[in-house]
Amino acid sequence: MGATVRIMTAAALALAQTIPIAAGEPPRFVMIVDPAGAPDLTGVVHAISPDGRFVGGTYQRRLPQFRMEAFRWSEATGLDYLGVLPAQYPFSVVDGLSLNGEVAVGMASTCGDVAFMWRDGKMWELPRPPDARCSAGAWDITPDGRIAVGFVSLDPAGNGAAIWRDAKVQRLVSDLPDCPFSMAIVTTPDAGAIAGLGRNGALTYEAVLYRKGRLTRLGVLPGAPESGAYGVSDDGRIVAGVSFSQGFLWSERTGMVNMAPFAPPGTTDFNTFPISADGRIVGGMVRFQGRQQAAVWTAHTGTRLLMTILAEAGVDLQGITHILNADYMSADGLKYACRAWRLPEPLTRPYYAVIPPFCFADCDNSGDLDYADLLCFLNRFERAQDPRANPIDFFYCDFAPDDEIDFNDFLAFLNLYNKGCGQ
């Protein structure tokens, strides 16, 4: 153990104490329903606002005609339909929500599936570049509701990533001639980093990160033909995604990290999708007992089924047998829009879930903060000096966060420790 770590150990033990872990917002599990809808109709969630107060998606309606229509829901307001665009077979779905839920973006049918924006009770088609066909989609929006990202369909080049600033469209053009930027899927709050899909030389998709006009190819996992990026931390440091049914995390220091080995025992195919604002919580799904199950990962708790987290918090799961996904997560990583199944019912239902806060200073995940957590951190701190060899330790120990493991991370950890839970 180096001199710096010995000094840190002495300082840590001098501060060692047992600190209770505080509770956060009450955990709960709420079905998203249309009070006026028939019991054989259901919806699908596709978005959650950064603060977790609003959920968006699409819901079945029979009147004035059978269709899937975009909705916005909150515990306070219930479910509101946002409308459709004129089409022979109307369809609309919310894929992104602003912080206050007042602006929504997504896809709707007209001449084809097109990108829309909804605000002040009105839905309209977002513009397309002159060379684009009648096919587009807006998949994410910044918290202030001013910038949306997605794709437009180009002929004959396929899809191209697009950004709408104050509803004005612009192509996001790759600076890599062998990797066009095909789809912008998720953005940071300032649109400074945008993750999505690029087309590599083999004409398959590859996860990419777009920053300041430059495209970074994130690669694929060994043996996988393709990958896609579906989540990015607020500072753009960490990207979450999937490479041929296996989840990954990526950062410049660690490269692409296969998350499959960190799936719970007895599960397979850990797919990672959303990531919290600070990059510490990742949502997704695993294959468990032959069925899809929602899962949540942190570097100190490992991967846990969302159902298990809720059940241990004393939440009534209302007879639900499977929570199928945790693909839509609030910025704090504690609120989820998901689908759930109550066998033997034939339909899945949309739900809203809130889980207890994580205590990131509880390094050994024992449920108490004591000297063992300080020693645990120091051991992980030493291993984290080699991010490529020990990427999970690196993700855990970068408390500053600045993509470096140094004394600032130790001080940041102690600050969390002394607060009692770091929330």
Burial class (CB in 10 A: 0-12, 13-18, 19+), 5: middle
How far is residue 226's CA from residue 268's CA, in Å, rounded to a whole number?
Answer: 19
User: Which residue's structure tokens are 């919310």?
Assistant: 94
**Bridge partners, residue 241, by sequence:** 229, 248
* 350-373 tens-digit pLDDT: 999 999 999 999 999 999 999 999
Helix, strand or coil, per DSSP, at residue 89: coil
How far is residue 78's CA from residue 52's CA, in Å, rounded to a whole number?
Answer: 14
User: Residue 310: pLDDT above 50?
Assistant: yes
Across residues 251-255, what is the average pLDDT?
Answer: 98
User: Residue 157: pLDDT above 80?
Assistant: no
**Bridge partners, residue 108, by sequence:** 92, 114
Top-confidence residue, 229 or 34? 229
Return the beta strands (E) in 24-127 as ranges.
28-31, 43-48, 55-61, 67-74, 78-83, 92-97, 103-109, 113-119, 122-125
* 196-229 tens-digit pLDDT: 999 987 678 999 999 989 999 999 999 999 999 9
Asked if 275 and 240 count as a contact pair (C-beta separation under 8 A), the reply is yes
In 3D space, the residue among 125, 253, 249, 143 whose CA is nearest the CA of residue 191 turns out to be: 143
| Cα–Cα distance list, 29 to 32, 50, 306, 311, 322 (Å) | 10, 18, 11, 10, 13
* 262-308 tens-digit pLDDT: 888 887 788 889 999 999 999 999 988 778 999 999 999 999 999 99
Residue 22: pLDDT band by 50, 70, 90 thresholds? very low
In 3D space, the residue among 4, 70, 33 whose CA is nearest the CA of residue 348 turns out to be: 33
| Cα–Cα distance list, 193 to 93, 163, 190, 196, 397 (Å) | 24, 12, 8, 10, 23
Report percent pLDDT > 90 for the chain.
Answer: 75
In 3D space, the residue among 182, 133, 130, 187 whose CA is nearest the CA of residue 160 turns out to be: 182
Residue 23: pLDDT band by 50, 70, 90 thresholds? low
